[in-house]
Every structure is written in C-alpha cells, then in structure tokens.
Amino acid sequence: MNNPLIKLSQRIGYTFNDISFFELALTHRSKGGKNNERLEFLGDSIVNFVVAEALFEKFPQAKEGKLSRLRAGLVRGTTLAELARDFDLGEFLLLGSGELKSGGFNRESILADAVEAIIGAIYLDSGLDTVRERILTWYGKRLDDLQLDDVVKDAKTRLQEHLQKNQSRLPKYEVMEITGQAHDQNFKVSCWVETLPEVTIGLGSSRRLAEQSAAQKALNALGVES
C-alpha cells in the first residue's frame, strides 16, 4: 500500500485486505474507465440500513416518520461530506483533469459519493459486521448527541405540509434545464404553487438540491419563512 493510502487508512480506521477495493472507491467517474459508482450504489444502501438500525435501537418509542426524517438528516450528502472532510478525503481522490481544475476534490457531492463508495468497499472486503462498526464509529458523536426533537424537515417537506394544512394542491416540480458535462451537471428546476403568481426557480448540482432550493424560495414567497 502506498503512503497516501496508509495515511487515509489510519484516518478511517480500516486497513483493506484487497487494496484494489480502496483504490476503486477513490476513483471518480471523471477519471475514466472503472470508477466508484457501483461501490457508491452499494454503500448508499448499507449506510441507510446501518443508520436506520442504530436509530431503531436508540429511539424505541419513535414512530416511523420521525425515524425516517432523522435518518435522512444523517445520510444526506451534506452529512456524508462532513465525514469526508473529517478524513481530509479530498486530497486522496482520483479525479479527471476537468474535476481537478474545477475543485472537484472539495465538491460536496463528490465527497459524499466517495464516502459511500468506501463503505461499499469495506463491506466487500470484510463483511457487514466490520462495515457496521466503522459507520457507527464515524457517526459516533452525531448519533450520541441526537435527540428526537432534532428532526429538521427539508424545504420540500415543509412546503408540502404547509400546503396540505391550508388545503392547497401539492407543488409541482419541473426540470427546466440541465447544463454542464456529465460529471459536473447543474440543474434548474421550477416549483409551481397554485397560490403564488409565478413559479419559483431553484439551482443545484443535482435535481434534488435544485428542488429543495425552489421549495425554499416558495416558502419565502408565501411568507411562511424568511
């Protein structure tokens, strides 16, 4: 194992038996050829399961809806990117020249995807018990400090609940434009609310983020939030 990977292994608290899993987990699709997308897919499912299991045990009286929102906050891209920055993961990523020039090593979505890919790689290398232990260690303080009243609903959920409360029709989201290369796309999404004279527009590096942005602007336009 080369020195940079030894350093990262120490930071994540795991040494790979098969180093090829580790290298693949750090390889972004902009690099070309084999990349971490399949590992990311696997890791996404694993982290959702492990966090759900931890919340199920921590809050035995909590209902499904609240558990789902707590989990969403812990496995969202922002939180995964925070974990990545805890490890200084960006400096170890294998990126194509375009991503290197545009600062991809610090892009939230790339960092979050890499964490999921590492989770998938650890699972393949050592199994569920080991990867569960790693995830729970990485999330340790976040899980320990979490309280049921910490649930913060995202903008789309808040907008939907506000409209339902006022017996209005649900919002409609539409992708207006997608720009950029496949590895660095930007989305423009509109949000239609029947009580607003105009749609609100959100921008983001993914459709989900753009929809959240548009929903937040709708909440502001409705005077629900400032």
CA distance 32 to 39: 15
184 a catalytic residue: no
44 a catalytic residue: yes
- Ligand-binding site membership of 40 (annotated): yes
CB–CB of 40/117 below 8 Å?
yes
> Which position among 44, 108, 125, 211 bears the catalytic label?
44
> Which position among 23, 116, 125, 211 bears the catalytic label?
116
Integer-rounded Cα radius of gyration of the chain: 19
The predicted pLDDT at position 16 comes to 96
- Ligand-binding site membership of 82 (annotated): no
Q: Which residue has the tokens 């080991």?
A: 130
pTM of the predicted model as reported, rounded to 2 decimal places: 0.69
- The b-or-e profile of 14-48 (16+ CB within 10 A means b, else e) is bebeeeebbbbbbbbbbbeeebbeebbebbbebbe
- In order of their start, the domains of the chain are 3-149 (1.10.1520.10), 155-221 (3.30.160.20)
* Per-residue model confidence as pLDDT tens for the chain (226 residues): 667 899 999 999 999 999 999 999 999 988 888 999 999 999 999 999 999 999 999 999 999 988 988 898 899 888 898 999 999 999 999 888 888 777 778 888 889 999 999 999 999 999 999 999 999 999 999 999 888 876 667 789 889 988 998 888 999 999 999 998 776 789 999 999 999 999 999 998 888 889 999 999 999 999 887 6
The predicted pLDDT at position 126 comes to 96
- Ligand-binding site membership of 116 (annotated): yes
